[in-house]
Amino acid sequence: GQQVMQIPQYQHVQEGEDFTTYCNSSTTLSNIQWYKQRPGGHPVFLIQLVKSGEVKKQKRLTFQFGEAKKNSSLHITATQTTDVGTYFCADENSGGSNYKLTFGKGTLLTVNP
Amino acid sequence: DTGVSQDPRHKITKRGQNVTFRCDPISEHNRLYWYRQTLGQGPEFLTYFQNEAQLEKSRLLSDRFSAERPKGSFSTLEIQRTEQGDSAMYLCASSSPNSGDGDTQYFGPGTRLTVL
């Protein structure tokens, strides 16, 4: 079935450094959603990318969707301690009555102050 | 606070016991989802309701698992004869195609189940 791979699994940075997590699929993605889960918390929706080559920004976060819709990335500029958490990408199977999300394993980001 | 609530937040049970979890979605959302998350993994889809109709069930949902949404509002997830492998965080999410936010799924805080 549909699989979404994320790399790296873990990333430790010094505060102020940049961070990028990558999401890849062997098949074309319907659309990509990104979620953040703080330690002990639940996934919180960040953004959805739908169009090929789409780029969206939220303050220090930049999200990209690949031209072939088989990969996506999340880049954080100048990380802060509040960025700590696990970042998940998820593909939405938007066909018929099926709207389930298929999540990657996530990238755990830790930030050293 | 996303508006999705789950009860209980934590459940410890002995192997072989039955447990039931409740999810109250955001009030105007007609779609409700159950996911399971284990340590170091992303949430895995279990089942999906549109109103009161259960439209899809994952193969992960063995016959010991049953979910209901009798009036199209709150939902319950029951696990019978629990096994240690059932220990996980059970997450509920809700969404609406008419909410103006692209049918975004909003997650509740989850119920953490520990089977001893």
- The mean per-residue pLDDT over the stretch A52-71 comes to 96
From the list A44, A45, A103, the residue facing B42 with the nearest CB is A103
Is residue B27 within 8 A of residue B2, CB to CB? The reply is no
Q: Is the Cβ pair A101, B56 closer than 8 Å?
A: no
Assign B86 to helix, strand or coil.
Answer: helix
Assign B66 to helix, strand or coil.
Answer: strand
Nearest CA in chain A to B53: A97
Question: What is the pLDDT of chain A when averaged over all its residues?
Answer: 92
Radius of gyration (Cα) for chain B, nearest Å? Answer: 14
Give the pLDDT band of residue A2 (cuts 50, 70, 90).
low
Give the lowest-confidence range in B25-29, B56-60, B70-74, B90-94: B56-60
Separation of alpha carbons A63 and A77, rounded Å = 11
Write out pLDDT tens, residues B9-60: 999 999 999 999 999 999 989 999 999 999 999 999 999 999 999 988 888 7
Separation of alpha carbons B112 and A17, rounded Å = 34
Separation of alpha carbons A29 and B81, rounded Å = 37
Is residue A12 within 8 A of residue A52, CB to CB? The reply is no
- The mean per-residue pLDDT over the stretch A50-79 comes to 96
Considering only CB atoms, which chain A residues are within 8 Å of B35?
A: 101
- List the 92-111 stretch of A: residues with Cβ below 8 A of B: 97-106
| Residue to substitute from A3, A35, A101, interface B, most B β-carbons within 10 A | A101
A·B CB contacts under 8 A: 55
Extract the tokens encoding A98. Answer: 């099926």
A26 in contact with B, Cβ within 8 Å: no
B35 to chain A, minimum CA–CA distance in Å? 9
Give the pLDDT band of residue A95 (cuts 50, 70, 90).
very low
Extract the tokens encoding A109. Answer: 């980001």
Chain-centroid distance of CA A39 in Å reads: 16
Considering only CB atoms, which chain B residues are within 8 Å of A44?
A: 2, 107
B89 to chain A, minimum CA–CA distance in Å? 10
B17 to chain A, minimum CA–CA distance in Å? 26
Separation of alpha carbons B31 and A106, rounded Å = 25
Considering only CB atoms, which chain A residues are within 8 Å of B56?
A: 97-98, 100
Main-chain phi, psi angles of B4, to 5 degrees: -90, 125
Question: What is the pLDDT of chain B when averaged over all its residues?
Answer: 93
Q: List the Cα angle A13/A19/A23 in 5-degree steps.
A: 130
Non-local (6+) Cβ contacts of B3 within 8 A are B25, B26, B27, B106
